Structure 1
Amino acid sequence: MPGAILAFNDTVGNTIPPDTSHAVSVSLPTWESNVGYEKGERWVTDRMKCGYPRFFIHPLIQDLASTIVALHGSTKSEKAMLFPTHKAAVRCVDFIVDKNQSADQSLIRIIDFGPIAGLPSVESKGKVLPRISAVIYPNELWPSAKVYWQHSGDGISSRRAEFCSKALAEHTMSRRSSPGHSPPRKVKGPRRYQRPMSTDDASVNMPTNGNLDDHDTNGVKQLDSVLFVEERFGRNLDVSFACACKLAVRRRIAGSLTNASEIPESLNHSATGHTGRSRDVPGFSVDDVYLFSTGMNAIFTSHRIMRLARGEMKSIMYGFPYVDTLKILENWGAGVLFFGMSSAAELDDLERRLGAGERYLALFCEFPGNPLLTTPDLKRIRRLADKYDFGVVVDETIGNFLNVHVLPYADVVVSSLTKIFSGDSNVMGGSLILNPRSRYYETLKDVMSVEFEDNLFEEDSVYLERNSRDFISRIQRVNYNAEMVADTLRAHPKIKQVNYPKHSSTRQHYEACKLPDGGYGGLLSCTFYNLDDAAAFYDHLDTQKGPSLGTNFTLSSPFVILAHFNELDWAAKYGCDASLIRFSIGLEHTGALKASFDSALASIGSRED
């Protein structure tokens, strides 16, 4: 099928889904295109219209950063990283300075932007107010700034960038003075951005938490600063319900909102009070659910609040993780003890260490893991944590709370809402849940009361709420389709191994937390005996192909090549072979999906050929 492969290559760099301005995946349709991307080959990189947002900074964000440097930079050899708040920007600066202690720290600075005081368009009710903070730094510090952006998930979303770019062009947002930073200078750059500065007028109430006066709309407490201009996206949801969107999302995560009605009607119908069947922990309520702009930011925050609550101690990473989780534990705090096999022997080793007096901050794990789909023994981990006093942070993204119930075994549960909770691959989001039965609950709650900032951009919350309304019905079909694909792959002689919770050696640990009507999730992966077979199969597979997972459509990726290209030998030690292809199964008709996989398998023939 060389013609078909050439046709696939025509889509390199296109958004997934196609023609989606804020897509969170990008088309890398052949094995060669994935390798080319990792090698930085221009036939791939020059065609990239987007990418996974923490790895590839969206063009709208790049354009706004360039404009800010043009207006406020000191030299042409500077860059800017953009964040939703000053506090997030400070964390970025601290990281850059820590990793570049010989650099001239005076060249790394923060510029805050906010609404211009006195303008009717700003003072009027019912609008989101534009605010961002820019970290300006010399070009040579780009690698450290990019590491912070990728691993922390603290950066702004593409929708916030679009919104603030428009405000800057329309002269409703400009630079604000910040403590410890020089006052605004005369601007330079494009004439359309030149306007007298009046942003430091004390008549504008600008509290540090970014919120304005409260009021009620349809019985839901709302904030003036999070209401929308109707013309902007009124087609998605009535603009007066932006805050209600966040409440609806939090209630869905809590398990207390199970219908698919529109806002505000859906908020008047709960499943069973404050908690639903999947969150039946005494004392748990929607107040224990926090939203974030990305799933990785929820993980980053969980580590940060554990350190603030318990002091600096080494963490534990149990199971081969999604790449950034391990990087967070390595780059922040006292370091990490890494157990990459999810084995009982590793828990034996940990127990010996604990018995010998070693102490740890928290154990981080995924349920199940990505991409090997192994499942940690949460019951044993919980027993060890209770006996030896360490926290347990569980990432439930892959299993998801409609399939598994992990909260009783965790102190903190995190998840990426970008994935199957949304499904549409057009918005980022994350969540963090505190377990009220945790011995650290009160301390963590106190830390969150000081440290938490609601940085989920309001327009993003509108899309997230809308996308997640049919979450329950989608999960059932995804579970069914994924089991079919796993069985299809397992039957082929050229496939070395299929990784799926149902067929894993750790299945009993998954079953221990599986809900009575839950399934095994929509993610699976397989490895091949031959790398050429893996490439041929991938090239002939007729699905969408790119990074991310949890999409309503099937999405395939040579995950190890894409995530661990520069450390293939290291990844292989933990069972992540270079031939591994990961599949996030979608809602397609089961027969059509099977036909796609059968056709790709036929392209590599039988093992005896």
Structure 2
Amino acid sequence: MLAAVGQPVPNTEHAVSVSLPSWKATVGYEEGEEWVVSKMRTGYPRFFIHLSIQELQNEVLKLHGRVAEAVMLFPTIAVANRCEKFLHDRVDGLAPESVRVLVLAPVINKNKGRSVETVSSGLACVFFPKEYFSTAKQVWQHSGDGISSRRGEFCLKALRDGFLKPVSFSPTKPKSEDVYTKGPRRYQRPTSQNGIVPALTANPEPTPTQDETLEIEGKDYFQFVEERFGRNLNAKLASQAKLAIRRRISGCLTDDSDLDQALANSPSNCDSRHVGLKDHDVYLFPTGMSAIFNTHRILRANAAAKGMEPRKSICFGFPYVDTLKILEKWGHGVQFYGFGSSACLDDLERRLESGERYLALFCEFPSNPLLNSPDLLRIRTLADKYGFAVVVDETVGNFINTDVLSHADVAVSSLTKVFSGDSNVMGGSAVLNPQTKMYAELKQTLESEYEDNYWAEDAVFMERNSRDFRARIARINTNAEAIAARLQACPSVKTVYYPKNSPSRANYEACRNRDGGYGGLLSVSFQHPEQAVTFFDQLECQKGPSLGTNFTLACPYTILAHYLELEWTSSWGVEPDLVRISVGLEEAEDLTARFERALKAAESAVPLHGQGGQ
């Protein structure tokens, strides 16, 4: 049944998508219309702060905030410091003392004779004037490094039960990218240590370190964790879940058995991705965008450690919105090749031959939403010759269908999508290619820069969801190919964007695995905008953001992702009436019938402005 406006999709507390079941509802959401916004129970987690996290923010503000402040919550001090720096960089004249970071850490009693191998989480709270909330929210959205809804629930209960307390830290050297090397010296104020300032409360509480003992109302932290999770979720289980995910991504774990059996039967290195990959070359992140953001950050840190001059990055092909925003807002700028064509590579090669140098090239394979595939073989040749890194987002194609890692220094992915499928948990990965020239230095930089911020409970859900990943891919490939063919045959359809139909198909085929298909994502435009609206409204499937779900999910992509820049997207070939479809696991006959009915309705839609339509 189609979910109502603002309801979670699927109907679960930690759903990744939200129902916007009509074109009108999507526009209403983008314009902030009350009839839509008032019904929003959830949203895509990087854009909509989950209600449990909002409740946690209010609790933190009540306990530790000042008048007219807002707060943004992160898992560690390093992440919070990046938010603090972003605020100072982006807001002119922001007073040094108006942004502060408070760390709340779990108080663990170590004198109970019990193992400390238990789940724990602190919070790094960034307080700032509330009028700058939209600026701080950019860090949450673009970096993907905010806390997850499950972590938020856990921390809210811990805070209310007295197990999260302000802590003092000894001075430590910040990570390279956290040193304030840009902007006014006002950031380097003597009243803080690494961005941490003491808590300000009406009645300051003691600030125990993590080694201190504190009894809270006759209950210890271990009892608290067991009450929250039961006795099964401990640090060991979370660690095993993460190891299983890394082995599944490396290609070494292929069966869908229970965790212990799967790990026992899977090696750490099976070379199934043909580059000598080991599970320790796979790094996990809380979101796919976090994997991209932190890969960019680590590449910059690596360049700084080598004493390289500041360099731009390259965004090759029209990407999902936040990738370009990251490259624009952090670092030293971006060279954008929105068409991602061979002519773009010709221009890039001319620039390189003339002496221009770049930090890295970021691309998607294939791209979202136009499903174009860049020429990775030629990109790899240029990268080797001129010394830039290649970062390929393999989310849409996925490593079952395509081999991009052989041509990349780093392959990143949103595990939230088809790797999980259930649309109830976020996650991301970055995979280093051991065969590239940069491997050793990137590995060394990661040793000092990487933080495992993937929340234990999220990892457990992700591991369980991904067990049947390979089997799901085969069925989704088949369904999507059939739907693409049916759309292509409809006279009302102008263009079907799909790797098999794309002008860049040869590039896709050059990287397609022997038994790989073309993925589950496609986009479609119609002869007239009214036909697109009618098709979308009549299509009998869930409607909302995200992709790679086990159920078919559609959205008016350009409206949802680029509503305030439609003219700009049109200049890169992304039409305002584009409908993006993520094909799911439904029975093929039933799914095809749904599309038939929607297409029939679209064919009878009457253009409002004559035959010109657009």
TM-score by length of 1: 0.90
CA–CA distance in structure 2, aligned partners of residues 14 and 481 of structure 1: 26
Question: How is 1:376-391 mapped onto 2 (pairs within 5 angstroms)?
Answer: 376-391=374-389
Question: How is 1:536-555 mapped onto 2 (pairs within 5 angstroms)?
Answer: 536-555=534-553
CA contact (8 A) 1:55 1:150 kept: yes
* Partner of residue 243, structure 1: 239
Q: After TM superposition, give the deviation of residue 199 of structure 1 in Å.
A: 2.5
Identify which of 348, 356, 363 aligns with 1:365.
Answer: 363
**Residue 254 of structure 1 pairs with residue 263 of structure 2:** no
Which residue type is aligned with residue 239 of structure 2? C
Q: After TM superposition, give the deviation of residue 309 of structure 1 in Å.
A: 1.2
* Partner of residue 45, structure 1: 37
Q: Could you say if the C-alpha distance between residues 460 and 120 of structure 1 is closer, same or farther in structure 2, counting changes exceeding 3 Å? A: farther
CA–CA distance in structure 1, aligned partners of residues 489 and 205 of structure 2: 70
**Residue 90 of structure 1 pairs with residue 81 of structure 2:** yes
Q: Which digits, 9 at most, give the CA deviation of each residue in 1:473-506, with x for residues without a partner? A: 0000000000011011111111110000001000
CA contact (8 A) 2:102 2:197 kept: no
Question: How is 1:295-444 mapped onto 2 (pairs within 5 angstroms)?
Answer: 295-311=288-304, 312-444=310-442
**SS, match of residue 500 in structure 2:** helix
Identify which of 97, 106, 112 aligns with 1:115.
Answer: 106
Q: Could you say if the C-alpha distance between residues 239 and 298 of structure 1 is closer, same or farther in structure 2, counting changes exceeding 3 Å? A: closer
* Partner of residue 519, structure 1: 517
Which residue type is aligned with residue 491 of structure 1? A
Identity %: 52
* Partner of residue 198, structure 2: 183
- Structure 1 stretch displaced more, 436-445 or 417-426: 436-445
CA–CA distance in structure 2, aligned partners of residues 135 and 373 of structure 1: 38
**Residue 129 of structure 1 pairs with residue 120 of structure 2:** yes
Which residue type is aligned with residue 159 of structure 2? L
Q: After TM superposition, give the deviation of residue 608 of structure 1 in Å.
A: 9.8
Q: Could you say if the C-alpha distance between residues 533 and 445 of structure 1 is closer, same or farther in structure 2, counting changes exceeding 3 Å? A: same
CA contact (8 A) 1:296 1:430 kept: yes
**Residue 203 of structure 1 pairs with residue 212 of structure 2:** yes
CA–CA distance in structure 1, aligned partners of residues 126 and 297 of structure 2: 21
**SS, match of residue 413 in structure 1:** strand
Q: Which digits, 9 at most, give the CA deviation of each residue in 1:81-120, with x for residues without a partner? A: 0000000000110111100131112010001011125487
Give the number of equivalent residue pairs.
572
Q: Which runs of 5+ in 1 are unaligned?
A: 1-6, 189-194, 206-224
Q: Could you say if the C-alpha distance between residues 494 and 122 of structure 1 is closer, same or farther in structure 2, counting changes exceeding 3 Å? A: farther
Q: Could you say if the C-alpha distance between residues 433 and 127 of structure 1 is closer, same or farther in structure 2, counting changes exceeding 3 Å? A: same
Q: After TM superposition, give the deviation of residue 228 of structure 1 in Å.
A: 10
CA–CA distance in structure 2, aligned partners of residues 375 and 544 of structure 1: 27
**SS, match of residue 418 in structure 2:** coil
**SS, match of residue 526 in structure 1:** strand
**SS, match of residue 393 in structure 1:** strand
Q: After TM superposition, give the deviation of residue 241 of structure 1 in Å.
A: 1.7
**SS, match of residue 46 in structure 2:** coil
Q: After TM superposition, give the deviation of residue 527 of structure 1 in Å.
A: 0.6
Which residue type is aligned with residue 208 of structure 2? T
CA contact (8 A) 2:65 2:201 kept: no
Q: After TM superposition, give the deviation of residue 568 of structure 1 in Å.
A: 0.3
CA contact (8 A) 1:256 1:276 kept: yes
CA contact (8 A) 1:127 1:228 kept: no
Superposed CA RMSD: 2.3
Q: Could you say if the C-alpha distance between residues 410 and 227 of structure 1 is closer, same or farther in structure 2, counting changes exceeding 3 Å? A: farther
Q: Could you say if the C-alpha distance between residues 183 and 336 of structure 1 is closer, same or farther in structure 2, counting changes exceeding 3 Å? A: closer
Q: After TM superposition, give the deviation of residue 197 of structure 1 in Å.
A: 3.3
* Partner of residue 472, structure 1: 470
CA–CA distance in structure 2, aligned partners of residues 121 and 422 of structure 1: 38
CA–CA distance in structure 1, aligned partners of residues 32 and 207 of structure 2: 44
Q: Which digits, 9 at most, give the CA deviation of each residue in 1:197-236, with x for residues without a partner? A: 352364379xxxxxxxxxxxxxxxxxxx999945544599
CA–CA distance in structure 2, aligned partners of residues 397 and 423 of structure 1: 12
Q: After TM superposition, give the deviation of residue 438 of structure 1 in Å.
A: 1.5
* Partner of residue 188, structure 2: none
TM-score by length of 2: 0.89
**Residue 16 of structure 1 pairs with residue 4 of structure 2:** no
**SS, match of residue 89 in structure 1:** helix
CA–CA distance in structure 1, aligned partners of residues 102 and 476 of structure 2: 45
Q: Could you say if the C-alpha distance between residues 204 and 396 of structure 1 is closer, same or farther in structure 2, counting changes exceeding 3 Å? A: farther
Q: Could you say if the C-alpha distance between residues 335 and 239 of structure 1 is closer, same or farther in structure 2, counting changes exceeding 3 Å? A: closer
